[in-house]
Structure 1
Amino acid sequence: MSQAHLLPAPRLSLLLPGSLRQRIAHRLGTLRVPAFTLPATLARVVARLPQQPPAQALVTALNLALDRVLPRDQLEPLIGRNLRMRVSDAGLTLDFSFNERGFHRAKDVLKPDLILSATARDYLALALREEDADTLFFSRRLIMEGDTDLGLLVKNTLDAVDWDALLGRRS
């Protein structure tokens, strides 16, 4: 039987009764990232690994968001600037830059213009919009070092992102 003759599989959620589907949707909508810290042993191992693969994953994700939710014109002050993202409990240090063509991995950065440091949990909560950058910053869970004007630009750009539009949700 050819692939063209197969019927599409129904979405799993459509197979559930309405009330159960609603309860599951409500429960998933109220889930929060639990408090956690990655083990120090893991951080020591990860810190010794090449940082290129996770840095490349970060710039790839940023480039996919570029022009869709990250307005290129608002990022112009980042052109030629070196940024560093530290995931403190994971032992990751991700260096990247921005130019006219987009984000790219930065190599051999001795003194980045801006360093953002937080735990994996806090970055995840920030990305999922469970926490905002101001709350993390004032509780000293997000640390900014270097050019604070550049840090404010990054923060304000992230705050302006319409994540629901990116995910295809409608209000």
Structure 2
Amino acid sequence: MPALPTLPRPPSLAELLPGSLRRRIGERLQNLRIPDFTVPGPVARLVAHLPQQPPTQALTLALNLALDRVLPRDTLSPLTGRHLQMRVLDAGLRLDFTLAGRGFRRVAPAAGTKPDLVVSATARDYLALALREEDPDTLFFSRRLRMEGDTDLGLLVKNTLDAIDWDALKARLGGQRQG
């Protein structure tokens, strides 16, 4: 069977744009900020009645991908077996999870029990934290990020996130894509 001809690689966006335009677009993208937004109330009321398992599974998958690569398991060991809850206030989400021996997993909340730690914020503020646009301390002291329950666990989570060298991680991920 004859080999299929290989198609030429399409030019990248950087190759198509002139230098000055490419530079201006790059500068704008670097200074891009997340707009202020709130999930509309009717959407939040609907989401609050939907099963919370799919978004919790997505969260635990993301945490497990970061575990041992970005999030040091030994530092997080005090979270083992503890019931953690992440509330996305404007989206009606309550994501219940724990750290187990094999990683993060979803927890079905038991009636009448409270999570050991509840971290609450809006979708916009969680996104800003993830993109390092906002600092956890700034959100905490402006009462946009709240912690209830075992505050030692909350400080552990906050300090672990603060200790991550995001620039080194971005460089490492960028190098993997190119390599």
* Deviation larger for 30-39 or 158-167: 158-167
Q: Does 1:129 align with 2:132?
A: yes
User: In the alignment, is the contact (CA less than 8 A) between 1:83 and 1:113 conserved in 2?
Assistant: yes
- Map Cα deviations across residues 5-26 of structure 1 (whole Å, 9 max, x no partner): 2222222122111110000000
Please report the RMSD computed on the Cα atoms of aligned residues, expressed in angstroms.
1.6
Q: Does 1:40 align with 2:19?
A: no
User: Aligned pairs, how many?
Assistant: 170
Q: What TM-score, normalized by structure 2, do the two folds share? A: 0.90
- Indicate the percent of aligned positions where both proteins have the same amino acid: 69
- Which segments of structure 1 move beyond 4 Å, counting only runs of 4 or more? 1-4
Q: Cα gap change, 1:8/1:135 in structure 2, threshold over 3 Å: closer, same or farther?
A: same
Unmatched 5+ stretches in structure 2: none
Q: How many angstroms apart in 1 are the aligned matches of 2:109 and 2:56? A: 13
SS at match of 1:5: coil
Q: What TM-score, normalized by structure 1, do the two folds share? A: 0.94
Paired position in structure 1 for 2:72: 71
Displacement of 1:169: 5.0
Amino acid across the alignment from 1:111? K
Q: Does 1:120 align with 2:106?
A: no
Q: Cα gap change, 1:112/1:165 in structure 2, threshold over 3 Å: closer, same or farther?
A: same
> Looking at CA atoms only, which structure, 1 or 2, has the larger radius of gyration?
2
Amino acid across the alignment from 1:36? F
* Deviation larger for 94-103 or 108-117: 108-117
1:111 to 93, 105, 114: 114
Q: Does 1:159 align with 2:153?
A: no
Unmatched 5+ stretches in structure 1: none
Q: Cα gap change, 1:48/1:2 in structure 2, threshold over 3 Å: closer, same or farther?
A: farther
Amino acid across the alignment from 1:29? Q
Q: How many angstroms apart in 2 are the aligned matches of 1:76 and 1:43? A: 33
Q: How many angstroms apart in 1 are the aligned matches of 2:102 and 2:5? A: 40
Displacement of 1:166: 3.0
* Deviation larger for 56-65 or 161-170: 161-170
Q: Cα gap change, 1:3/1:13 in structure 2, threshold over 3 Å: closer, same or farther?
A: farther
